[in-house]
Amino acid sequence: MEQAVPVYILSGFLGSGKTTLLQNMLAAFRAQGKRPAVVMNELGDVNLDGQLVDDQIPTAELLGGCICCSIRGDLSLQLVELVQKEAPDVIIIEATGAANPMDILDGVSETSLYARLELRQLITVVDAAHLYDLYQEQRGRTYRLMQEQIRCASLLILNKTDRVDEEARDKLNELLRKWNAYAPVLQTVQCDVPIETLLDMGIAGFERKEQESVGEGMPHPGSDTKSCGHDHGQFCGCNGNQEHAAHELHHSHSHVMAYTHYFDGPVNSVEFEKLLQELPRDIYRAKGILAFSDTSGRFLFQYAYRESDFMKIDPQGEVQDVAVFIGEHFDKEEIKRKLLALVHSSAS
């Protein structure tokens, strides 16, 4: 009989390390002689993460929205098309950092009714430093969204542990245990974890959870439950009712917005880095491809939770110089003004 294609969902807040994990998984699958395919979802209008994935790997892009709401129907279409056209051995879905994984789980389950898919794992990547900061305040929509992403996982990766001390690591471990008692937790830097271990752990973890949560808990392929096995009433006063929960959860990330800026000239690298350092706190993620006026070549830049990183690249395909800024209720016009001024001053 035809084998079902295993599907892995990568969830986690913006900038936590999902693309880093995706790259590690792709390398591991290919080393095993497998043919992976990828579904990438970005809030902005361009797929910058796609630049980090080998162009030999079949990739479906869902841009300009979040899988879990505006473009959920597209997810099913893309999955079916990938299976029919590419016959991959495995599919990895990288959600936007603003996605609620429950809806993506639901989308995959629905699709598995008419395409041979088998949901293996929902891996949530957590930025240790970011969660630790939010934990001090214990409130805010981003904190609640992170909580949801953690609760729904079958495997948790506590990443960026290089950015917190031992005391914070212990505290975070305790917190993850409290929010999700079932999923194994792996502590990593750069999501560096033996992938074979990760895949083995996940399968066992997912099966165990399904058995232990009979009647109320963990969503699984073919299941019509949308519950993460926790009390939704904690957030919205409902008792896990599907509609109320979905409604409330969409609201938990509807605060996230993106601005995509296309450049019509190069910018000075020092000035651009300064602009990143001075971004308002409400912008927690930025990425893009740029040419600088003071150095040759083009660069992929990443800004995640106050850390920036530049990598020289040779972009695949035609990519205009572009930057995407993601955050909460920030002033798009102000960013636009600053970027236009930067291009102008770099030209003179």
Q: Which positions touch ligand GTP (CB under 6 A)?
A: 12, 14-20, 49, 97, 159-160, 162-163, 189-191, 285, 302, 304, 307, 309
Q: How far is the CB of 52 from ligand GTP (least distance, A)?
A: 8
**Which residues fall within 8 angstroms of residue 178, CB to CB, at 6 or more apart?**
none
Q: Are 157 and 188 in contact (CB under 8 A)?
A: yes
CA distances 242 to 192, 225, 259, 328, Å, are: 36, 8, 32, 27
Q: How far is the CB of 12 from ligand GTP (least distance, A)?
A: 5
**Is the CB of 18 or the CB of 72 nearer to ligand GTP?**
18
CA gap 106, 223 in Å, rounded? 8
**Is the CB of 50 or the CB of 205 nearer to ligand GTP?**
50
Q: How far is the CB of 162 from ligand GTP (least distance, A)?
A: 5
Q: How far is the CB of 97 from ligand GTP (least distance, A)?
A: 3
**Is the CB of 70 or the CB of 211 nearer to ligand GTP?**
70
Beta strands in 238-278 (DSSP E): 256-262
Q: Are 38 and 29 in contact (CB under 8 A)?
A: no
Q: How far is the CB of 128 from ligand GTP (least distance, A)?
A: 8
**Is the CB of 302 or the CB of 346 nearer to ligand GTP?**
302
Provide φ and ψ at 283, rounded to 5°. -100, 110
**Is the CB of 190 or the CB of 197 nearer to ligand GTP?**
190
**Is the CB of 55 or the CB of 309 nearer to ligand GTP?**
309
Burial letters 312-322, b for 16+ CB under 10 A, else e: eeeeeeebebb
Nearest CA-CA partner of 75 in 33, 105, 43: 105
Q: How far is the CB of 286 from ligand GTP (least distance, A)?
A: 9
Helix axes 242-253, 141-151, angle to 10 degrees: 130
